[in-house]
Amino acid sequence: MSVQEYLDKHMLSRKIEDAVNAAVRAKAPDPVLFISNHMKKSVSSVVTKIKARQILDSRGIPTVEVDLYTNKGMFRAAAPSGSSTGTYEAVELRDGDKGKYHGKSVSRAVKNINEKISEALIGMDPTLQTQIDQAMIDLDKTENKAELGSNAILAVSIAACKAGAAEKETPLYKHIADLSGKTGLVLPVPAFTVISGGKHAGNNLAAQEIMILPVGANTFKEAMQMGSETYHHLKAIITEKYGISGCNVGEDGGFAPNISSFREGLDLVKEAIDRTGYNDKIKIAMDVAATNFCLGTKYDLDFKSPDKSGQNFKTGEDMIEMYTQLCKDYPIVSIEQPFDKEDWEHTKKFSRLGICQVVGDDLLMSNPKRIERAINESTCNALLLKVDQIGTVTEVIEAVKLAKDANWGVVTSHRCGETEDSFIADLAVGLATGQIKAGAPCRGERLVKYNQLLRIEEELGELAVYAGPDWRLP
């Protein structure tokens, strides 16, 4: 790019001329200093450098981290990662070299940032999030970001979003709200993981997570207290019944006692809630992650048991009956992925009962086409929002708009492979999703999200609004 092309791209020639004219009008005693100060105020920051590296996530598996520079400073972001990737989500680019990190290295994604994305974005205005994201999408040229990697594109997109907020001298959550065209800022109800199972823990529980939602709290700060106290009461109960080894935790920080049934886990959680005295103020949610134990047309609830008898297979109808009874016996308000990712019919049938919020995870993969189908067919009524399944901040905002326009709930979600990046906390507030799932009130990579929400609530002061009873549709 020539000097003149650079000046033209950023309208600098016009701004220099304006600065000179202003100095003449002001009869500035030091025109050079006047022009310099005028330019600093009038010229927007641009992306000056992008540097990526490979770091490790909370599981010790490589992921991508990016430092994006403007004249305002350096802005860092890291891409989260799931334990498995779905057919319909954006492609996470890994090297595949079994001799390094068991094939999980991300040096190709890092190289794509340092050599291709960096060159395309240098000189761009970080406040223009849509243009930055579109530039990367155009550079990739695939429908699912397979060329550059969604992990590469997402890390840059988040870093640019942080830089854009700094350029506007506004909090990140407010900048995100501005990008979405929304004005309401809402502190989400946290869905704390308290018991882990499925592929996230070494016990025999088929369900992946049992969570608690402090919907009756008055503030996010109070919700954190409720969550922490319940978590520690649960630890004491598990120690009493299963010994201290039962308090080992899964990947999301939930306890993983040696239990095998949904009811056994739910009874433990209900007892912990009773001990806190919060009772009606705390509700229960489950992430069943049923895709993990679907075999053809049946569901194997003993899929993790070494002593499988083959007697615990359930049909889709059996699962509906089981969920219906559990919702009657326990204060369950939300069930995530109750059926296989391709079991649209049973998901639809259960959702239409209106018993609880039915959250699409594997079913949707945050994919706009699958979200639209689910909306049109009334298959579920909530979106699990995983930013890495989409790949850019702009597309995340569009997915949330699509869900909210259909009066769906939106659960901003972490991944099992997390980092110290707290971006999804600001995202949940800025997009007013009303719900955030970031794991247990335990482990640094989980708490960094919750602690950021505490800071945001404090910063907003009297303007802070906690979703509370309006958690589904704030």
- Residue 267 corresponds to which tokens in the numbers above? 């009874």
Give the pairing of strands 409-413 and 434-439: parallel
Measure the CA–CA gap between 465 and 460, rounded to whole angstroms.
9
Is position 92 annotated in a ligand binding site?
Answer: no
Give the pairing of strands 298-300 and 313-315: antiparallel
Is position 95 annotated in a ligand binding site?
Answer: no
| Known catalytic residue at 302 | no
Of the listed 104, 174, 270, 386, which one is catalytic?
386
Instruction: Calculate the alpha carbon distances from 340 to 325, 343, 468 in Å.
Output: 20, 5, 30
Whether 223 and 186 have beta carbons less than 8 Å apart is answered as no
Of the listed 252, 302, 362, 388, which one is catalytic?
252
Q: Which of 432, 434, 412, 433 is nearest to 424 (CA)?
A: 412
Positions of E strands within 150-264: 189-196, 209-213
**Residue 177 CB contacts under 8 Å (≥ 6 apart), including other chains:** 183, 184, 185, 429, 430, 431, 432
- Look-up of token digits 């005693």: 29
| Known catalytic residue at 104 | no
Is position 361 annotated in a ligand binding site?
Answer: yes
The distance in angstroms from the start CA to the end CA of the chain is: 47
Binding positions for Mg(2+) are 287, 336, 361
Binding positions are 287, 336, 361
Catalytic residues: 252, 386
